[in-house]
Structure 1
Amino acid sequence: MSLLDYKDAFLVGLFMSFMIGPVFFMLLKTSVLKGFRAALAFDVGVILGDIVFISIAYYGSRNLLEKIKDDPRLFFIGGLVLIVYGLITYLDKNNKKELDQSEVEVAKGNNYFKLFLNGFFLNFINIGVLAGWLGIMVVVGPSLNMNPTSIFWYFTLVIIGYFATDIIKILLAKQLRNKLTPLVIYRIKRGMGVLLIAFGALMMLKGFVPKEKIDELINKVEIKR
């Protein structure tokens, strides 16, 4: 893997960490009400749920991706998945719910194992998270030639980026909690939806345009700079 691959993996983790949803709110709420250790236990459960989803995405799509990894239509499929996920994110009307109105309550008392289970199951029941990891796997897997070692380290770095960002969120929970008004939440999530749609569209375009043409265009842009 190149250094660029490492950077991209870390940024993917950062992006996934800021997807606004029940887990995002519960992590902040747990930190504010129960402290750092409780929020950390909750987040470790969330991370385990993500690891399970990544494994499902990998083993569930491996045979298909092995067969079509050199087929340009793969970019069309991956782009379509990201566009659909982006549209769901953009059109979700639950974005305006305030943090204090979160649908899932944190258990009373600092039962760390229970908080861990809460994090795992709250993340695991969200099928949208699986769709997101599947879209990333469809895009990333073939670019790494479906090499198990490369894929393992790529997603390890994704998880590290995800977890590191969550730690920052936990430490800044009170400040974030005060600034996350319904309007701000709504705008952030719609912005993320637009980014996913744009990235998906670029992936689909890559499936139709020959790689040589894309490289030629990139070279022209760099020369002009």
Structure 2
Amino acid sequence: MIDDILAALPLGFLLSFMPGAVFFVLLETSVVKGFRAAITFDLGVILADIVFICLAYFSSYRLIQSIKDEPALFIFGGLILVIYGLVSFIKQKRIAKDELSESKTNEILKKDYFTLALKGFILNIINVGVLGFWLAIIITVGPQLDMNQSRILTFFISVLAGYLCTDIFKIVLAKQLRNKLTSGNILKIKKVISIILIIFGIVLLAQAWSPSERKFVMEQLESDNN
């Protein structure tokens, strides 16, 4: 068991530093809203990971392989990120045009823990690539653990524990910047995060445009021309 835990913890550490929308939003939440808000957001992310792990473990390999490469899912997730990022960016620009009153500042800093957890869950669950990642881990690690359920459970609990502990460290470091924030800086951070979400949304949309999809479109265009 100890060997399984020690093998899992580095994976959790590396997973925590994988660049993505969740990574940047977690840091933003920590800086702008504080430790508890960031932890709540992170728990929503981990819940989505648990859902993906269960799907990857209990579903057949062929089913997951077909789902994880489904262009419609990449398009759906990408559109959500792009739309969310655009709406958030426009909202911050409108606030910046007006005088940033104390009430508006308090609205930005308001902590709705349920919404934060839901936000973390959704941002992670819409990235179908994460499902493919967990499937690859199960396929790689499962045989090494003799497909023993208790060992696999221990391994993934350790991975998620390592992930959470590393995120707590990141949250604590990011939180140190909070005392230096002004209202204007908060708006700038939220604008930057909005742009990052749009970029990652476009990346997801691009993943739907696979070589096979391009070939299919070209074939259809050629048949129409003929």
8 Å CA contact retained: 1:54, 1:130: yes
The runs of 5 or more residues in structure 2 that have no matched partner are 69-83, 93-106, 179-226
The runs of 5 or more residues in structure 1 that have no matched partner are 65-76, 82-101, 178-225
Separation in 2 of the partners of 1:122 and 1:142? 31
CA 1:22–1:159 in 2, change beyond 3 Å: closer, same or farther? same
Report the TM-score, using the length of structure 1 for normalisation: 0.57
Aligned equivalent of 1:126:
127
Separation in 2 of the partners of 1:140 and 1:118? 30
8 Å CA contact retained: 1:10, 1:157: yes
Aligned equivalent of 1:147:
148
Separation in 1 of the partners of 2:154 and 2:112? 32
**What is the aligned residue count?**
144
CA 1:131–1:63 in 2, change beyond 3 Å: closer, same or farther? closer
Separation in 2 of the partners of 1:57 and 1:110? 33
1:172 Cα offset (Å): 0.8
Q: Indicate the RMSD between aligned Cα atoms, in angstroms.
A: 3.3
1:5 Cα offset (Å): 2.5
- 1:93-172 equivalence runs, <5 A: 103=85, 105=88, 108=108, 109-172=110-173
Q: Deviations over 1:93-128 (max 9, x none)?
A: xxxxxxxxx938599420000000000000000111
User: 2:124 is matched by which residue type in structure 1?
Assistant: N
1:54 Cα offset (Å): 0.6
8 Å CA contact retained: 2:35, 2:175: no
- 1:170-189 equivalence runs, <5 A: 170-173=171-174
User: 2:120 is matched by which residue type in structure 1?
Assistant: G
- 1:27-42 equivalence runs, <5 A: 27-42=26-41
Aligned equivalent of 1:20:
19
1:62 Cα offset (Å): 6.9
8 Å CA contact retained: 2:4, 2:151: no
In terms of Rg, which structure is larger? 2
CA 1:150–1:132 in 2, change beyond 3 Å: closer, same or farther? same
